[in-house]
Chain A
Amino acid sequence: MKFLPLLWAQLFRKKTRTILTLLSVLVAFLLFGLLQAVQIAFESGADAADAKRLLTTARYSIIEPLPISYLPRIERVSGVVAVANADWFGAKYQNESNAFAVFAVDPARYLDMYPEFTVPPAQRGAFVKTRTGAIAGQRLVDRYGWKVGQKLPIASEIHPKADGSLDWEFDLVGVFDADDPAVRGNTDMVLINVAYFDEARQFGRGKTGWYIVRVADSEQAKAIAADIDRLFMNSPDETKTQPEKEFAIGFAKQIGDVGALVTRILMAVFFTILILTGNTMAQAIRERVPELAILKTLGFTDGVVTALVLGEALLLLVLGGGVGMAAAVGVMPMLNGATGGRFPPLFVAGQTWLLAAAIAVVLALAIGLPPAWRVRRLRIVDALAGHR
């Protein structure tokens, strides 16, 4: 710590240059914080997945429905302990931009299948009993100011009612939430009672979008998935059953391999930073060779002078990186507001901070080591020659 004032003074020797370099580091880490948040949001479905849950969809496309008659047959497969089904309803509330997910579900089966969603018992009971009932995620309720007991007028993206209208109305009978922040990110949705939905819709009656299957032993999940698919092989509605996590990852990859994309962008960004700051650092040290020779003259060992140069590089990266990450945290509420809840909540996770710290250290070593090595090998008499 006693060297910190010296490091600070040396770092800001040329203020404009240092501030510009800091800004470039800041922007790189701001981008890192944002992109990591996006990646985590994309992977949150997979992170929240339960190893004992399988998803059964139509073999060739998730948008193809499956007969509801499959449910009891899947239930009878050895190792299966529970089955629920869900159908994509899709919804807009009041206007086109207020879009969110709505699933038509069997209330009891679905909530039993997802115990991570918490619903007050009385509201759960009301959802099970009320054919026109719906429950909404806490984040949606907060966003739109809904109240339990009110009518919920929503327009489906896909399903018209028997009279051809896309406008539906449900009774909001409860609110669900989740304790785990990763799960809470997936609660921007409304669940409606499939009994009413199936009866009132114009087409697709007797069908469902997909099945969620709970197995007794996660070790047997793959085998059970194969058993289920074998059951419907060569039928008009063949199935594809896979672990929930695998499904979530595959689903996210339909948009694109976000992880790989983020990694490539960040590699390009940090490589640019490496070149920029490395060049600046090398130039700054080159200008100070006589001063570093003076430090050696005063008795600073090669090791201490080397550490000072590395420390300066680290200070530059930690300062720029820290402010960049803090800026990323600062803009998250704005971004979350801008997405209108159609995207899982963005946040800078603890692991992102750790990764940022590790990147800062690695970059500091990469840009600091070459000039530090040069300074270490510096002969005092050579450096002082002509500067006495």
Chain B
Amino acid sequence: MLHGIDLDIPRGDFLALMGPSGSGKTTLLNLIGGLDTPTAGAIAVDGRRIDQLSSAELSRWRAANVGFVFQFYNLLPVLSAQRNVELPLLLTNLSAAQRRRHAEIALTLVGLQDRARHKPRELSGGQEQRVAIARAIVSDPTLLVCDEPTGDLDRATAHEIMLLLQMLNREHGKTIVMVTHDPKAAEYAQHALHLDKGTLAEGHGPGAP
């Protein structure tokens, strides 16, 4: 349950949301990403009140504007990396060849072009998360919503993933909102906000490195 949240995230920001379990950080992330709707209050993204959208409108808005990265990757196990990345493009009018090309570019960006034909079970955790990131950026959304993106990875792999997210933020201008328990991961963000019992606690400055 969230109370009295008044939050403005500038375009191109990389924000880490931190806090103990049950503090409401995932709920806030769901609201920002359009996966849930608030019982009261307003949420505007790029000037659009997403809390007023119908379910179908919200789906279309997510498809066009938001990329999602989850702790457990959430790839479809029956599809190859390439097909997983192509999934969001099935909702566009792109031809099969164009979808394939876009997916190849996204996989190249995350350094997995040579793993395109592999199924998720044939990839390491870090590789799966890279495929998930490729899927999140393939339709070129302005906002990336990441829920514990390094929660299932070892330290070295987590570092690689965070560098990748940082690169997407700095070089491609993606606005990133990331929930994490890990202070090390939060250091890659420009800002970190702490939630506690559904309210914003305090903030601190840009992270390293």
Residues of A within 8 A of B (CB): 2-3, 5-6, 9-10, 12-13, 290-291, 294-304, 380-381, 384, 387-388
Contacts and interface: CB of A to CB of B under 8 A. Distances in A.
B42 interface: no
Contacts of B163: none
A297 B62 CA distance: 7
User: Quick one: which of A6, A13, A294, A387 has the most chain B CB within 10 A?
Assistant: A294
22 contacts: A6-B87, A9-B79, A10-B78, A296-B59, A297-B62, A297-B74, A299-B60, A299-B62, A299-B63, A300-B63, A300-B91, A302-B55, A302-B59, A303-B56, A304-B91, A380-B35, A380-B36, A381-B35, A381-B36, A387-B74, A388-B74, A388-B148
Main secondary structure on B side of the interface with A: helix
B139 to A, nearest CB: 8
Contact of A294 (B36, B76, B91, B96): B76
A291 B135 CA distance: 14
Interface residue SS majority, chain A: helix
Given A291-B74, A297-B68, 4 more contacts: A294-B74, A381-B30, A381-B36, A387-B74
B70 interface: yes
Nearest to B63: A299
Contacts, number: 74
B185 to A, nearest CB: 15
A300 B56 CA distance: 9
B19 interface: no
Contact of B88 (A298, A302, A384): A298
Nearest to B70: A388
A342 B183 CA distance: 86
Contact of A13 (B71, B78, B99): B78
Interface in B33-70: 35-36, 55-56, 59-64, 68, 70
Contacts of B55: 301-302
Contact of B72 (A2, A295, A298, A388): A388
Contact of A298 (B56, B62, B71): B62
A75 B68 CA distance: 89
